[in-house]
Each structure stands twice: as C-alpha cells, then as structure tokens.
Amino acid sequence: MGLSQTDGDRLMTVLALSVAGPKGLIELTFESGETIALVGDVSQLGPEVSSLLTGSTKVGPKLVIDGVSATPAARMGREMIRRHLSMLRPVEEAPLNPRWKVLRILEEPLRALRPEMSKKARFETIASCLADLEVDVATLSAMPSALSASERQSVALARAVVAKPSLLAAVDPFARLEVEDQARLANQLLHLVSDSSVALLLILSDLAMAAHLADRIAVVSEGAIVEAGSAQDMRLIPRMNYSRMIAAATRSF
C-alpha cells in the first residue's frame, strides 16, 4: 500500500505513542509495520487512545511521528494525529452512521483527510481497500443495518485504514464476534500489516490472540507496563508474576 502521494515516498522512521495510565505514561515506539500488543489489565487504555483523537484530554497522551511530537492541545497537533492515527473498536461501537450507505461511510475519512482527491480517485481507493480486506464490493451499496456483525467490523476496519494512517490502534476489536469472524478479522489485520507500512497497536485481554498477531507484547498491570518482550518470549518465559498468571490461565500455553 505505502503512503499516499501527498506524503511523497517518505518512509516513516519513528512513531511513538504515549498514553496516560493511572500510574504515569505508557510509551511505545513502533518500527514501520510493527505490531505491538498490550495485554493484561487494559480496560483503561482504550479511552486514553481515543482521547488523543477527540482531544478530550489536553495533557498526557501524544503521538510522535518522525521526531515531530503532536498533542491534542494544539490545532496542528490534532490535525496531525487525525491524519496518522485511526482506531478500530468493538463491533457494537463501530462508527457507522445507520442512515448512510457503506460507500458514504467509507468516503467520509477521505473527504476529511484527503480533500484534494477527486470522486473517482476516492472510489478507486475505497475499492482497492475493500479488495485488500477481501470484502465484497457489493457491500458499498448496503446500509449498515443490513450487514452481519462480521461485515460491519470489516467496514469499520476499512473506514479506519482507507485514508492510510501510520498507526492503527485496535481496542478490543474481537469482542462479541464469533470465532469464525474473529479468525476473519485476524486474517485481515495480518494481511494489512504485512502489505503496508501501517503499524498496529492491539489493546486486548486475550493473550492467545495477541501472541498470534503481535511482534512484541507488553503486559499492563494497574496502568503500567510490568513486562515487555517479543511475542515468542512471552509465550515461553513470562518473568513477572502477573505475566505468569496470565500465561498460566491462557489455554494454549
């Protein structure tokens, strides 16, 4: 996929995200196309990441892209964050306007973030994005209420990545999906990161799924990272007591 024309051929070098946990900042640095999973006690972190986008918290969370730091306190910062960060939420919170057809839902981020695009270019971008995610193009003319949970989550994912963000933050994206649909979404996410330079931040409690998708895993307990390592290490030799507890309770370890 690569970055869009307006960004030239610039390769994203540094991407760092800090969010405020109850006990100080959680700082993550991504390499291009890397997947990091936060597991454990993560229920507080989703709202923190979304506060970056909405600007509801002025201090604390920030996003650093190529050494340029963006906080939601300034208008420029908010614009930069919107351009580079997008979110995928549980399917029942998917931001799909019930009165709009899927096409219009997917056009919305392009209209906002790539206003220079012509209507035709927008449609082509959307169609290629759907093809990448193996979603039927016929979905475009449907209303969200006519779609199954799995299809809705696919549309939400397409909406999140259609404008080619640098970082996709997926907060509990598998919640309330059946295993078959979870598997479909996992395949889409794997395909997405292997095919483009988008970095993926997974925030979820399911260690088995995190270990399946992520390069690195960080275990969060009481709002702070207690252990971080490669996904492989975390499966085999969890060091901290809390990580051991999670690993022991997770079925495949």
Partner 1 sequence: MTLLSIRNLSVTPRPDRPGEHPLDSLDLDIAQGEHVALVGGAHQGPASLKALLSEPGLAKSRVEAGTVWLEVPDQGRLTLWRLLVKERGAIWAPDSAMFLGKGKKRTGARAASLLTQLGRHSAEKRLQEGLRRFNSVDPHGLLSKPADALDAGERMIVSLAMIAAVSPRILLLADPTVADPVLWARYVRELRLLTEETGMAVLFQTSDLVRAAELCQKTVVFYAGRVVEEGDAASLRDHPQHPLTSYLGKCLPEAVPSKTPFPIDGRSAPTPGNVPTGCPFHPRCARALAGCYVEPPEFSGTSSHRWACHRPMATGL
Binding site for partner 1 (CB under 8 A): 40-41, 43-44, 134, 148, 172, 175-176, 178-180, 182-184, 186-187, 190-191, 204-209, 211-213, 231-232, 245-246, 249-252
- Of 73 and 224, the one with the shorter C-beta distance to partner 1 is 224
- Of 107 and 172, the one with the shorter C-beta distance to partner 1 is 172
- Of 71 and 154, the one with the shorter C-beta distance to partner 1 is 154
- Of 86 and 243, the one with the shorter C-beta distance to partner 1 is 243
- Of 75 and 251, the one with the shorter C-beta distance to partner 1 is 251
State the nearest-atom distance from the C-beta of 182 to partner 1, in Å.
7
Pick from 154, 190, 162: nearest CA to 35:
190
State the nearest-atom distance from the C-beta of 236 to partner 1, in Å.
12
State the nearest-atom distance from the C-beta of 134 to partner 1, in Å.
7
Locate 179 and state its tokens.
């295993």
State the nearest-atom distance from the C-beta of 116 to partner 1, in Å.
35
State the nearest-atom distance from the C-beta of 59 to partner 1, in Å.
22
Three-class secondary structure of residue 230 per DSSP: strand
Cβ atoms of 155 and 135 closer than 8 Å: yes
Please tell me the distance from the alpha carbon of residue 186 to that of residue 190, in angstroms, as a whole number: 6
Locate 154 and state its tokens.
């696919």
- The upper half-sphere exposure of residue 15, i.e. CA atoms within 13 Å in the direction of its Cβ, equals 23
What DSSP character marks residue 12?
A: P
What string of DSSP letters covers 180-197? HHHHHHHHHHHHHHHHSS
**Residue at 206: amino acid letter:** D
- Of 9 and 180, the one with the shorter C-beta distance to partner 1 is 180
Three-class secondary structure of residue 232 per DSSP: helix
State the nearest-atom distance from the C-beta of 211 to partner 1, in Å.
6
Please tell me the distance from the alpha carbon of residue 14 to that of residue 232, in angstroms, as a whole number: 24
